[in-house]
Amino acid sequence: MRNNIALVTGASSGMGKEFVREIAKKYKGLDEIWVVARRKDRLRELKKEIIGTRVRILPLDLMEEKSFERLKKALEKEQPDVRILVNASGYGISGSFEFGTQEDASGMVRLNCEALTRVTYLVLPYLRRGSFIYQIASSAGFAPQPGFAVYAATKAYVKSFSIALRQELAWREIKVIAVCPGPVKTEFFDRAYEQEEMKFYKRFVMANPKKVVRKAIRDARRNKAVSVYGVTMKITRMICKLLPGKWIAKIMDK
């Protein structure tokens, strides 16, 4: 018999870590949760706190080509039924594109877009009817963001890809949801704002990751295409739908 599993990337911290915790609580029919991240020590700590569901550690760096081959081989060997896929790996660096580094810019595209797409592609043959795919996007993807240009663009890709993939997989009854929170209280922002101070309004609307993940799970069960946490971010999404992108960019630049 095949094991029913969840596979979570970016599981060593932030939203990925919270997803592992919540999946272990809410999805009792799983045999294993596969946790993917480059920091093995963090994954070991997470494994200790998960009770009732086996946790398989896959210490993979999704910026490295060999990691995708290792994941592919693990899937081919185990032939699991993947009931839940969470793509939570990603990072952002704030600041002017002109004065940032080429490595940071290309790295965000590789991890936030390419790695997410490749993991989805590798896992897709093992997803079964009624499975869930959670793609961690961001409210930053609603409109262009000066000072966060590349990151916002990568998350716009994730949102667009998720909604299109959702339609393609509808016949298989696989639910794809783009999770689009605003700022979330995780160490993501420690790295994102190393070079400059975070704008005050982002601190004001900072959300609790546990609440964001719980809402995402509820929204997925309600078959929503996009999960947006909080009234402020919902209003932001509406404004971004109504105003041209160039206007939003000018407003945010101020």
Q: Which residues are catalytic, by number?
A: 151
User: What is d(CA 152, CA 26) in angstroms, rounded to the nearest whole number?
Assistant: 31
Selection from 71, 90, 82, 85 nearest residue 14 by Cα: 90
Contact 135, 230 (CB under 8 A): no
Contact 183, 233 (CB under 8 A): no
Q: What is the secondary structure of 175-206 as a DSSP string?
A: EEEEE--SSBSSTHHHHHTSSSPPPHHHHHT-
User: What is d(CA 123, CA 119) in angstroms, rounded to the nearest whole number?
Assistant: 6
User: What is d(CA 86, CA 8) in angstroms, rounded to the nearest whole number?
Assistant: 5
Measuring CA to CA, how many Å separate 101 from each of 61, 89, 94, 228, 251?
21, 20, 11, 31, 25
Q: How many CB atoms lie within 10 A of CB 245?
A: 12
